[in-house]
């Protein structure tokens, strides 16, 4: 039962990390798009020739490398987001398949997903601590059985 509870506690952390990753991705994508826009507006190098017939522009090369770096960073973020969604979906499936009562579902939502403390839940639901412990135990037993 402790394993299930630990998994439920991770839910809020997954949600926080997901938000952080989305913000990072938006920032990187903005920088990526700014570089691409600048690259597209740069002068055409077709008329510039150097030894061997190849064009060479160090600024263009540096910008292209930065665009590639941003692409790699975005791919890493995308992979981590995919992993997080896998874990969130697994937790959601466990809770949804457990056949929880309304009180049990609300307790799980408040305690594990919203991160509220037992005293806050007691105040929010107007239930005494003893009754909340019974709800918790019942919910965790049902989830463990899934």
pLDDT tens digits, one per residue of 44-57? 555 555 555 555 66
Q: Which residue has the higher pLDDT, 36 or 27?
A: 27
Q: What is the pTM of this model?
A: 0.77
Gap between the Cα atoms of 27 and 66, Å rounded: 14
pLDDT computed for residue 52 by the predictor:
55
The CA-atom distances, in angstroms, between 48 and each of 56, 57, 99, 106 are 8, 9, 71, 68
Residue-wise DSSP of 40-108: HHSPP-TT---GGG----HHHHHHHHHHHHHHHHHHHHHHHHHHHHHHHHHHHHHHHHTT--HHHHHHH
Give the pLDDT confidence score for residue 87 in this predicted structure.
97
Mean pLDDT, rounded, of the chain = 89
3-class secondary structure, 109? helix
């Amino acid at each position: 039962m402790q394993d299930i509870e630990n998994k439920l506690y991770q839910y809020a952390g997954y949600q926080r990390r997901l938000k952080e990753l989305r913000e990072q991705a938006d920032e990187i994508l903005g920088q990526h798009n700014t570089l691409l826009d600048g690259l597209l507006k740069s002068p055409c190098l077709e008329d510039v020739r150097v030894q061997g017939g190849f064009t060479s522009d160090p600024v263009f090369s540096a910008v292209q490398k930065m665009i590639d770096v941003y692409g790699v960073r975005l791919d890493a973020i995308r992979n981590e987001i995919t992993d997080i969604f896998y874990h969130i979906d697994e937790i959601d499936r466990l809770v949804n398949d457990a056949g929880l009562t309304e009180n049990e579902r609300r307790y799980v939502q408040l305690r594990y997903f919203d991160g509220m403390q037992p005293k806050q839940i007691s105040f929010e639901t107007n239930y005494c601590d003893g009754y909340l412990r019974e709800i918790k135990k019942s919910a965790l037993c049902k989830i463990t059985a899934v």
